[in-house]
Structure 1
């Protein structure tokens, strides 16, 4: 069976969700409704894509008790995966919802220490599929011991094999991966603003709170310089802006919704986007589905987009506007 989409997660996790009445200082905060889910950007993407109907494979390192649990959870979910065994322990993250204030507290921990041999084995495993996939999703952070140039090296190899790379990371791993030949990058406004120190010659930088016209011109400038072929910046109030090298530019506006959790919303965006592209949808349509997927996921507990009928309904509520100079 050929794999259309490979997702790669260098820093996976077991995501533990719980609910408590109130979080107390210096005392026990008793939780209920505990559940454990496979987590990490690319793993979340693969689980969604599998549910949507594209053939996918999640590739990730796994170690220790948490690594074994992660593999068990994915097997139960029937998500195809390739796990590279590593010596250090896979991390756990915690998302605790407090009923009293109706807020979620998301605790994210560092990843395992990987040796050079281990992270090179991870890189080799990405390209073990035959034939090579149409799309490779590089999603999530890098463990501290992995060079920030790691994704750049992966992008170069993927291009040589004719695979289009979808990039969803942050920090130095993001800035080091742009201008390396990735097809698409998705980032939020804070991540986009952080690029100013590396790629912007304007002393005022990229203002995270700039108006839409300014954001459009800044995105257009990066794309024109060859950062990626398609750049998507998600907006804090919902929605996104897309600018492509072939001249497409769109502003998507999502309806105001009740937010339960932001966990996995960005991954749902990428899931719907790449699945639609794999179904040969136009870029405009694929991004429209991405915005709708994120708008649905923030209204759900957990880290997954489970109601695909809701996704279709939400698509009708997302507005798309073409942008022009």
Structure 2
């Protein structure tokens, strides 16, 4: 069994097209669609695999779109552990408007899963013959699945002796944190929502991360700040990465690439600052790529020397 296993309870096939312009009522003549496997955990698995990590992905599939998703993932050389569902796997749609350079993203909620279907995903994790060292649960929760699904995933990962990594928001994040995890990757808005106040300054952000760590709910917080860069906070250290000066082509997949790069490096035993550097380079490589494409190993390698990381003075707070 691979070192890393990802869980995606709401997978998707992501469709990307170019269109001259977006306007109401008119027929919009699009380019030929590009289809990629999607959903948080699946994207993390794709990045880990591209960076040389040993990973498998657990996810439910249904219908013809589910079969396509499975084929797309297998085509990338990633081991799949698939459970069946009675509903068609969802699709997401992204259109790039050529006249303005803007992207229009249409994200579907996914169809409701029956209890035996989402429980089957959990059971696949529990019944792994060999225990993974890291479990990553990432992405949205579809209708019909309880909000504490990530908390249950955390309990089961703990029973395997695995470190748990969570990338979700709202009540799902709160429930998982109540169980205690190894790493979370919120963005600034998600963390502000969780703590119930606006986090406007670097000190605010570090203090909020430290409060979560001190309470025992997580050991690491990787906080993405959009155009302001990112933070990686542990009990002993607070690292800040400056935003890179690159041409932004598409923001799709940046967060998943960041997490995939971070997890891949940590699984290899890299030091915290080195792992952070890989994560930032992976996210930057993703935004340089068109459509729903993620980072490549070559782009990550090329960008890493340009990543600027500093120690935050408030680290001892």
Matches within 5 A, 1:6-25: 6-25=5-24
Q: Is the 8 A contact 2:248 2:287 kept in 1?
A: yes
Offset at 1:162? 0.8
Q: Is the 8 A contact 1:7 1:57 kept in 2?
A: yes
**Structure 1 stretch displaced more, 303-312 or 121-130:** 303-312
Structure with the bigger percentage of helix:
2
Q: Structure 2 vs 1, CA of residues 307 and 157 (structure 1 numbering), >3 Å: closer, same or farther?
A: closer
Offset at 1:77? 2.1
Offset at 1:129? 2.3
Q: In structure 2, how many angstroms separate the alpha carbons of the residues matched to 1:309 and 1:5?
A: 22
**Could you say which residue in structure 2 is the equivalent of 1:250?**
239
Q: In structure 1, how many angstroms separate the alpha carbons of the residues matched to 2:141 and 2:87?
A: 15
Which one of 259, 262, 277 corresponds to residue 273 of structure 1?
A: 262
Q: In structure 2, how many angstroms separate the alpha carbons of the residues matched to 1:87 and 1:23?
A: 34
Runs of 4+ in 1 over 6 A off after TM superposition: none
Q: In structure 1, list runs of 5 or more residues that go unmatched.
A: 198-204
Give the TM-score, by structure 1 length: 0.93
Q: In structure 2, list runs of 5 or more residues that go unmatched.
A: none
Q: Is the 8 A contact 1:19 1:32 kept in 2?
A: yes
**Could you say which residue in structure 1 is the equivalent of 2:212?**
222
**Structure 1 stretch displaced more, 96-105 or 315-324:** 315-324
**Could you say which residue in structure 1 is the equivalent of 2:223?**
233
> Is 2:121 aligned against 1:113?
no
Offset at 1:238? 4.7
Offset at 1:97? 0.2
Encode CA deviations 1:1-34: one digit per residue, 9 max, x unaligned: x311001100000000000000111111110041
Encode CA deviations 1:125-152: one digit per residue, 9 max, x unaligned: 1233222101001010111211111110
Q: In structure 1, how many angstroms separate the alpha carbons of the residues matched to 2:71 and 2:138?
A: 21
Q: Structure 2 vs 1, CA of residues 296 and 28 (structure 1 numbering), >3 Å: closer, same or farther?
A: same
Which one of 202, 207, 212 corresponds to residue 212 of structure 1?
A: 202
Kindly report the root-mean-square deviation, in angstroms, between the aligned alpha carbons of the 2 structures: 1.4
Give the TM-score, by structure 2 length: 0.95
Offset at 1:194? 0.8
Q: Is the 8 A contact 1:184 1:230 kept in 2?
A: yes
**Structure 1 stretch displaced more, 305-314 or 91-100:** 305-314
**Could you say which residue in structure 2 is the equivalent of 1:97?**
96
Matches within 5 A, 1:136-215: 136-197=135-196, 205=197, 207-208=198-199, 210-215=200-205
Q: Is the 8 A contact 1:92 1:109 kept in 2?
A: yes
